[in-house]
A = this chain, B = another copy of it.
Amino acid sequence: MGRWEPDTRGRLERAAIELYLEQGFAQTTVAQITRHAGLTTRTFFRHFLDKRDVLFVGMDELTERVAKAIAAAPAAWPAIKAAASGMNIAAAALQLRRDEAQDRRKLINTTPELRERELMAFAAVAKTVDGALSERGTDERVARVTAEAVLAAFRVAFEYWGEHPDRELPQLVDETLDELKRALGSDA
């Protein structure tokens, strides 16, 4: 990225989301996005693979931060606590960019081909969390199921946040995990 392009990627992301919401994902072209952002198509493709990618690049970066947080968690913490603390980093980051995150959520929910891509992205996050837990020495199957469950709680909280945008996402993730603990515990 050239030094004279501060936040080029952010501008492209915002332009894309605006147009997708306004006129629909399918109807929007890369040329329209770059025009809207006052940038060139070439610049677009320096940052993104395609017009779907615009909505998911940020998620890959967040996933890396989640993995780092899990790796940095005290060795004495149980897997669930390490995983939850990692996901809370992601929740906090989304909370800081709430309006954008909510717009993106709305858009993905109403566009089947984006939903599909989101499922793949969440599966990739689960795989990363699983890997980060295994690195800490968590038993293989426990690592897998813990990663999947924490992701499940995160997704449910994320959906709920869409319906209750005034709530704080990190708290919703904790709440949902507590609910899951209670739900599983009720069959003791």
A160 shortest CB reach to chain B, Å: 6
Give A169 Cβ to nearest chain B Cβ, in Å. 14
Smallest Cβ-Cβ distance to A119: which chain B residue: B119
A145 interface contact, C-beta 8 A: yes
Q: In angstroms, how far is the closest chain B Cβ from the Cβ of A183? A: 5
Min distance, Cβ A50 to any Cβ of chain B, angstroms: 16
Question: In chain A, residues 125-174, which have Cβ atoms closer than 8 Å to a Cβ of chain B?
Answer: 141-142, 144-146, 148-149, 151-153, 155-156, 159-160
Q: Give chain A's interface secondary structure class.
A: helix
A74 within 8 A of B: no
A146 with B80: CB separation less than 8 A: no
Question: Are the C-beta atoms of B119 and A180 separated by less than 8 Å?
Answer: no
In contact, A152 and B148 (Cβ under 8 angstroms) = yes
Chain B residues closer than 8 Å to A153, beta-carbon distance? 145, 148-149
Q: Which of A24-72 contact B (CB under 8 A)?
A: none
Residues 169-188 of A at the B interface (beta carbon under 8 Å)? 176-177, 179-188
Question: What residues of chain B lie closer than 8 Å to A78, measured between beta carbons?
Answer: 183, 186-187
Is residue A81 within 8 Å, beta carbon to beta carbon, of the partner chain? yes
Which of chain B's residues have a CB closer than 8 A to the CB of A148?
149, 152-153, 155-156
Q: What B residues does A119 contact at CB under 8 A?
A: 116, 119-120, 123
B residues near A144, Cβ cutoff 8 Å: 156, 159
On whether the beta carbons of B185 and A185 are closer than 8 Å, the reply is: yes
Q: Digit string of A65-96 for contact with B (CB within 8 Å is 1, else 0)?
A: 00000000000001111001000000000000
Bound complex: CA of A149 vs CA of B153, how far in Å?
8
